[in-house]
Chain A
Amino acid sequence: MYKMILKVSLGLMLLSASWVVYSQQPAEIMPLADKALTLSITKVGTSLVMVGERGHVLKSKDEGKSWHQIENIPVNVTLTKVVSYNNHVWAVGHDATIIHSNDGGDTWELQFNDADREVPFLSAYFDSETDGIVIGAYGSIMYTEDGGETWDDSLIDDELDYHLNDITKGYDGNYYIAAEAGYAFKSEDQGESWQAIELPYMGSMFGVVSLSDEIVLFGLRGNILTSKDHGETWEEVYTDILNNLFGSSKISEDSVLIVGANGTRLIYQKGSLKIMEAEDTGDDYSDVVVNGNDAVLVGETGYINLPIEK
């Protein structure tokens, strides 16, 4: 209930806010950057790139065993998602930030930034070196067809201003967005138009992943939903965990490693779940990359290398 009140009030605040121009400061190089809050990780060629708070961007050339922080990142805001296509890498984050690298993550430029709108971007998907979609809070959605040189600034729905948490392209060629408060969105036309999907579970979904023949959504308090009919109907996968699920990485075409709060790690495969015992630290994991039998997990204390099943 509080949340509803908050959102209404937030809307009012946004309208009445005085516009101040915030100048972005570059990220600082710090020894413990690889132990700070890290939110997203992705493969870029044979390397790995991860991003997180304070504009931290780090790169690893040894499958996540050691990391070095990239210099001259133009922003110091929290970066929430990193995605790549070939040698192109985009990272998005708070203050409506989009930064881009065309050399596998070694040098970066600012593509978009608008602190005044007080909207964090939360995820992105690129289907080629040129075509991409960035999504964020309050229904924000941005399109580019030139690799991010220019952005088409939009909202997903005139009525619904829910947070858009994650986006992916499904096995069926449709785009799926995991959103807030029991909503998801689907586009059958490469994002031209979106239809809202009301989910059987009222809570938010933080991630979406496509397997060989199903779309999997996961999110608040251990909830996992799957659909094998292009989002028409959704089935709840029973879990007895109450932790939020934040990120995933496919192990194979029909199995996925999902990670979340308090050290949660589970493998979903064809309707069944395997839950791994949490490490003692109980850290929140926000994302993961699977590499053979190993996984690199990122979260509130940086990264950790763990075998997939342990």
Chain B
Amino acid sequence: MTTNEEKGKFASACEAILFANKKIILFLLLVMTFVMAFFASQLKVDAGFEKQLPLDHEYMKTFMEHEKFRGANRILVSLIDESGDMFNEQFFAKLEKVTDAVIFIPGVNRASVKSIFTPNVRFVEVVEDGFAGGNVIPADFRPTQDMFERVRGNIVKAGVLGRLVAEDFNGAMVWADLQERDPQTGEKVDYQKIAAQLEAIRTEFESDGQTVHIIGFAKIIGDVAEGAKSVLYFFALAIFITAVLLFWYSKNWKLTLFPILCSLVAVIWQMGSLKLMGMGIDPMNILTPFLVFAIGVSHGVQMISGWTDQYVKQPKDNKSSESAAQGAFCALLSPGVIALLSDTIGFATIYFINIEIIQELAITATVGVALIIITNLILLPLLLSGLKMSNSAGFCQKFTEKKQSGGIWKGIAGFAKNPLASVAIVVTIALFTFGYFKSQEMQIGDSQAGVPELRPESRYNQDAITISSEFSLGVDMINIIAETSPNACTESFKAMHNIDRFAWHMTNVEGVQKVITLPQFAKIITAGWNEGNIKWRELSRNNYVMRQSLSGIETDTGLLNQDCSVMPITIFTEDHKATTINTVIAAVKAYQKDNQPAMDDTGELVEGEVKFRLATGNAGVMASTNDVVKGAQMPMLIMVYGAIILLCLITFRSITGTISIVLPLALVSLLAYALMAYLGIGLKVNTLPVVALGVGIGVDYGIYIFSRMQTLFKSGLGLYDAYQETLRLTGKAVLFTALTLGIGVGTWIFSDLQFQADMGILLAFMFILNMIGALLLLPALAYWLMPKYRKGI
């Protein structure tokens, strides 16, 4: 009891300081808001490829070490001729221009650009006195039928059919790798600008019988950022819906405006702080500000409910907004701070996942939620204290009338005793079981061919389908990096043989379409030196022949590094579904295990030994991300829940009470995963934090409700009566908040962005289920776990 008195004293002391200096504080907050609004207005969209990478992961160490062979941040621009035949003058003219246009996009690694027009794509041809090679498009190219036949032959000889040219010759493709930083200026590239330039290429060349299809990370970011503009309209809509419902609830437009205003102030401060911390906002992170708004509203509604209750209770002839505000402040300071602190700490723990974009989200959410402590627990009561009620009698009338109609609340209160308490427990056990099994079906990573952030019918995903159906290769790949001794490709038959054997093993793995690696080219060129005789397609043991074979292969082919100590094995997979990637990764690991390279005493590789390292390429990156996401999911939840449990234990000094608060949350988390499995939403970098954020929303409900009940227990009420009394005020606010926010985010299913639609469904689900859990399951658990309060039933 002493602690509670102290707490009461603490709240009173805060109240005294706060309300005495009301004007100064309000003024400071106002100035602060203007300053922050200024900074917030400067906040830029900041997208990046590398920040999506789990840099601690083994594969990503390979990725960072071998910059040359990353091939993950790639743009593919394909030009398709609608006639079904690309061999016409217009098509070739356009393809050349598209190639040039791609080369000149800032941020594109120019040496990496490949199309049949670039000099790094060559073919080999056998002639009487040896063999000749050349560019696919000859220097004397003229758009004649004969020349087209020659080019067609060159395409086949160059081995780019299915990669740079569509299998049935109805289109061609330009590849380009992006660099995250401009090598000259060292500045970070602007993905939206690149996306806009890609879109400009489409606009310019997509007409008169040719279509342009573009895929790649830069385009995804561009399209998501484009779609994110509509996110703002949906935010506005959600805020409007909240306002309308809040007005109906509070019966007063000022009481409607204040919590919304305070929540928006929190968002403004949050965005301003991001700018001050030198951060931008990632398109994938654009929902976090709304989340902060939602949590703000949730606390704001508690505050105005508390205020209204105090105000209505005051004697008719002595109504004081100020004392009502003081009363509400004292009553809500403790649960409000606890709830927000557990959110803050919970979100902060997400920071331990070492993927930059998730850390950004952790910071964004943590800062936002922490700021709500100021805006909704300080600013809001101060604003309320100055509220002038024009028709105070009428206002109070509405609430006293309402108080009598409590049938539904009686029903809900029934969950604090049997038989409903038992029913709730049985249903909970059933749901836990169902949720557990269903959530096991949740995919890690992507389950579709395109990207899940965009609508299936979006241009991007349609382009992805077109490209993967016209071009069998080149979209999804895993590069395994073979590390061996310097000059291995010309001096070590054994090393080349080892790489070749590994490549053949990978070719035989299910889901692999083709494997490309240097030894294959060495074989073909060796045959070329032997007049193209196919029987000579074998690796030579002779160093001279090896050197001769590889002298013509430049590093810009991406098949080897400068001193030929590193050679990638490029594995083209059928798609980038997690199951496909996992199969390949498992095969690589099995091979590594069975073929460990021999080391000498100094830890160097013995001559001819090869170390195969996972992995680069877009699918390699996905494999590592999937690994990390899968591994991070449980620790993240444990940390989030750990923070909540700890704070609840400290605050309420009750293990059973803590269980009553946390168990409903855990059930909702589990069911959220089950819902993700049901909807086919895979767990990936962008969706990983959503469940943790959902916990943050839900815990507020439980803490407010339990805090109120505990106060009532102390005043001598039994569980049922205490709960009924809690429902009247706190419970009603919880119910109202959840429904309001649920409806608000529910409208997101109409968003242009699949990602926002998915998040809308998930958040609405969690808002509402957390509310149901807090209102129905929490009292049932209290009934079973705290029998000493069962009196008076």
Contact = CB atoms under 8 A, between A and B. Distances in A.
Interface of A: 1-3, 6, 9-10, 13-14, 17, 22, 30-32, 36-37, 39, 53-54, 77-78, 80-81, 94-95, 115, 118, 120, 122, 163, 165, 180, 202-204, 206, 220-221, 244, 246, 261-262, 280, 282, 284, 286, 299-300
A12 to B, nearest CB: 9
A286 B542 contact: no
14 contacts: A1-B130, A3-B130, A6-B529, A10-B544, A30-B505, A32-B508, A53-B537, A118-B540, A220-B128, A244-B126, A244-B532, A244-B533, A246-B533, A286-B535
Nearest to A38: B534
Contacts of B182: none
B533 A77 contact: no
The 9 closest A-B pairs by CB, nearest first: A78-B538, A80-B535, A2-B130, A286-B534, A13-B544, A30-B508, A3-B130, A94-B538, A32-B508
B507 A39 contact: no
B504 A262 contact: no
A221 B127 contact: yes
A202 B128 contact: yes
A284 B508 CA distance: 21
B533 A78 contact: no
B544 A31 contact: no
Nearest to B153: A262
A201 to B, nearest CB: 9
Given A13-B542, A118-B540, A244-B126, A31 B156 contact: no
Contact of A221 (B128, B529, B544, B548): B128
A118 B128 CA distance: 24
Contact of A203 (B507, B531, B536): B531
Contacts of A280: 168
B138 to A, nearest CB: 16
Nearest to A280: B168
A120 B527 CA distance: 12
Contacts of B710: none
B140 interface: no
A220 B531 contact: yes
B156 A282 contact: yes
Interface in B492-507: 501, 504-505, 507
A299 B156 CA distance: 16
A284 B543 CA distance: 27
Interface in B520-568: 529-538, 540-545, 548
Nearest to A78: B538
Contacts of B130: 1-3
Contacts of B537: 37, 53, 78, 300
B534 A300 contact: yes
A115 to B, nearest CB: 6
Contacts of B501: 54
Contacts of A122: 535
Given A2-B130, A221-B128, A244-B126, A22 B541 contact: yes
Contacts of B6: none
B129 A3 contact: yes
Contacts of B534: 37, 39, 244, 246, 261, 284, 286, 299-300
Nearest to B156: A282
B530 A262 contact: no
Contacts of B504: 30, 36, 54
A221 B126 contact: yes
B129 A1 contact: yes
Contacts of B531: 3, 180, 203-204, 220, 244
